[in-house]
Chain A
Amino acid sequence: MLKTIVKRILQSIPTLLIVVTFTFILTRMIPGNPALTMLGPQAPKESVEQLEEELGLNKSKGEQYVIYLKQILKGDFGRSYSYNQSVVELIKERIPNTLVITLTSLLIALVLGMIVGIVSAVRQYSILDYIFMVLALIGVSMPIFWLGLMLVLVFSVNLGWLPAMGMGSMAKGVWDVVSHMILPCFCLSTIPMATFARITRSSMLEVVNNDAVKALRARGLREGVVIWKHALKNALPPIVTVLGLQLASAFTGAILTESIFSWPGMGTLIVSAIDNRDYALIQGVVLFTAIVFVVINLIVDIVYTVINPRVSYESGKGGN
């Protein structure tokens, strides 16, 4: 197992290198000049040139790339010009804010989505199944920015029940924090919930009528045990795959939702980084995202071996 993990980590190095290179090229391709953006359009040419020199932007692109790579190898993600803070510090600051809403909504989505999927599969073609699947279809196809704006319009502007933006503060009590989370979490959980419901349903359908499940019923096991213990464990792998992907994006924040609700998380951080042509910050956040994806994919693969004993990454072992 350890060998596999080390191997996978080594394999991820080229992936990360490609990500670093592409972000570097892409950020340099964004029109606009960071020094000019910071100083404003009226700034004298000399001050712009001076700032460019300070930031190292007067060097050739090749030189900049080499310097950047060297920095990364030392674990230095650079400094954000716009926030005048180190990129690592900024990410550290924003990550908890993002995780609070993304993980909460993912948890809600996973639990409800799986329940809906299992019920739909067990009662395939029932009215309940149709209702659930239509809702799930609406859920996956709803544009999230539209949903967010509608939620704000209805619950904040018209009804005035919930705050429209920002994070609550614990100083004002738990309700203040929770009330600020409700709309963003609702908004964030719709798509994953619908995805989980659909994937769980289709995966369970493959399992609930197969021979192994029939044999379990023939053993006189309770239907609850057959479905929720045996069939569910057999149906888990695709659900875990999707969960892994969702979890990875949870760390990188939700650009649309965070922007709508002015949530100070990773999503708004990257948006402002792009707005300000903050090269170091863009590169840092994207690299961080890539690392998270690589790590979570590795974890998902390891989890597979636990839920399905036939999967084995050791050579010369494993089943059909």
Chain B
Amino acid sequence: MSENLLTVKDLKTYFFTASGVSKAVDGVSFTLKKGETMGIVGESGSGKSVTASSIIRLLPPKIGRIVEGTIDFEGKDIIKLNKKELLNFRGKDIAVIFQDPMTSLDPVFKIGNQMVEMICAHQDVSKEEARKMAVEALKKVGIPQPEKRMESYPYELSGGMCQRVIIAMAVCCKPKMVIADEPTTALDVTVQAQVLELLQELQDEMDTSILLITHNLGVVWKMCDTVMVLYAGKTVEYADTKTLYAQPLHPYTWGLLDSMPKLSDTVKGELNTIPGVPPDLRLTGNCCNFYNRCPYAQERCGKEVPELVEVEPGHFVACHRQNKENKLVRGEENRNE
């Protein structure tokens, strides 16, 4: 087993809005090892992106705040970093790839200049050296005519090309970790596959860890070593990918996996969904967040917040009905009621 790179423990990030405190992230814990890829899945609003923003401390000023928990990156607590240390941390230790490549580059500066700017911000090199490194990186991510592309503006490139540029920029500073926040959502399906392959190649080459945020379970299966399932700001299940797909334990995970359309579904009809809607994040925190949608809910689920427990080595789940002694089986009758 390789060593831990990032350990997040009981992270809570709240948004203090005029209409109340929104608990966007309310108890997220996971560990990312060196060179591994972890997926974060969950529906919109489950706190995936806020978790990522918390890790790089880029929450909306004033409104968003980390109220509890620790983020340990190679022994240093990210939450305690000062402004200057943060600048060195962002971009250099952790690079982020955002969802929409077209809005992740500054539209009014040439691509080359933006890359050189970032390289010079983190490495002690001259502008000429930085330019060479940028061209090299563009070549590496498969951009044709990299010298020419250095002089292009972002709008002159397609979405897939922009995402390649962003990946090139991310890897220029050889980060230890890359956060990819739905890196393929805004791209065509064929381009999605190329971008994911590119990420994997670079990971193999540089031994980078990747935190992949997505709501595409197929992508998780292909890319990730471990998966964390988020629901309403909380980690509900966390395991290595194979285990999670083979023996999912949380009723929400079951619902997610069932919602995935399969090629083997011969009968045409409605797609599976989880009935109901996620709770209002201003009102959570008193019971299991999935209580009102869970077909297996019991009285206790409506009263107590379930702890995240390790039911099997490396397999964590937060559900009152799942523990070491007594496991809930999928499809089982709700006989305790």
Contacts and interface: CB of A to CB of B under 8 A. Distances in A.
A320 B155 contact: yes
Given A211-B100, A212-B105, A233-B109, A219 B155 contact: no
B98 A220 contact: no
A221 B86 CA distance: 10
A220 B104 contact: no
A212 B109 CA distance: 11
Interface in A218-237: 218-223, 225, 230, 233-234
Contacts of A216: 106
Given A211-B98, A215-B105, A220 B58 contact: no
Contacts of B109: 230, 233
A218 B90 contact: yes
Contacts of A92: none
Nearest to B87: A220
B108 A234 contact: yes
Contact of A319 (B83, B96, B156): B156
Contacts of A210: 103
Contact of B121 (A222, A308, A310): A222
A215 B91 contact: no
B104 A212 contact: yes
A211 B103 CA distance: 6
B118 A215 contact: no
B253 to A, nearest CB: 30
Contacts of B88: 220
B96 A215 contact: yes
A230 to B, nearest CB: 5
A212 B155 contact: no
Contacts of A308: 107-108
Nearest to B90: A220
A307 interface: yes
B56 A307 contact: no
A309 B108 contact: yes
Contacts of A211: 98, 100, 103-104
Interface in B263-317: none
B121 A215 contact: no
A217 interface: yes
A234 to B, nearest CB: 6
A234 B95 CA distance: 23
Dominant SS among interface residues on chain A: helix
Contacts of B166: 215
Chain A interface residue bracket vs B: 20 to 34
B114 to A, nearest CB: 8
Interface in B129-163: 153, 155-156
Interface string A295-308: 00000000000011
A59 B87 CA distance: 78
Contacts of B12: none
Contacts of B121: 219-222, 225
Interface in A273-320: 307-310, 319-320
Contacts of B108: 230, 233-234, 307-310
B60 A212 contact: no
B89 A220 contact: yes
Contacts of B118: 219-221
A225 B109 CA distance: 13
A216 B113 CA distance: 13
A22 B156 CA distance: 46
A309 B100 contact: no
Contacts of A219: 90-91, 95, 118, 121, 169
A1 to B, nearest CB: 17
Interface of B: 56, 58, 60, 83, 86-92, 95-96, 98, 100, 103-109, 117-118, 121-122, 153, 155-156, 166, 169
Given A212-B107, A216-B106, 4 more contacts: A211-B100, A218-B90, A218-B91, A319-B156
30 contacts: A210-B103, A212-B103, A212-B106, A215-B96, A215-B104, A215-B105, A215-B166, A216-B106, A217-B90, A218-B56, A218-B58, A218-B95, A218-B98, A219-B95, A219-B118, A220-B86, A220-B89, A220-B92, A220-B118, A220-B122, A221-B87, A221-B121, A223-B83, A233-B106, A308-B108, A309-B153, A309-B155, A310-B107, A310-B108, A319-B153
Interface of A: 209-212, 214-223, 225, 230, 233-234, 307-310, 319-320
Ranked 4 nearest A-B pairs via Cβ:
A220-B91, A319-B155, A220-B90, A211-B103
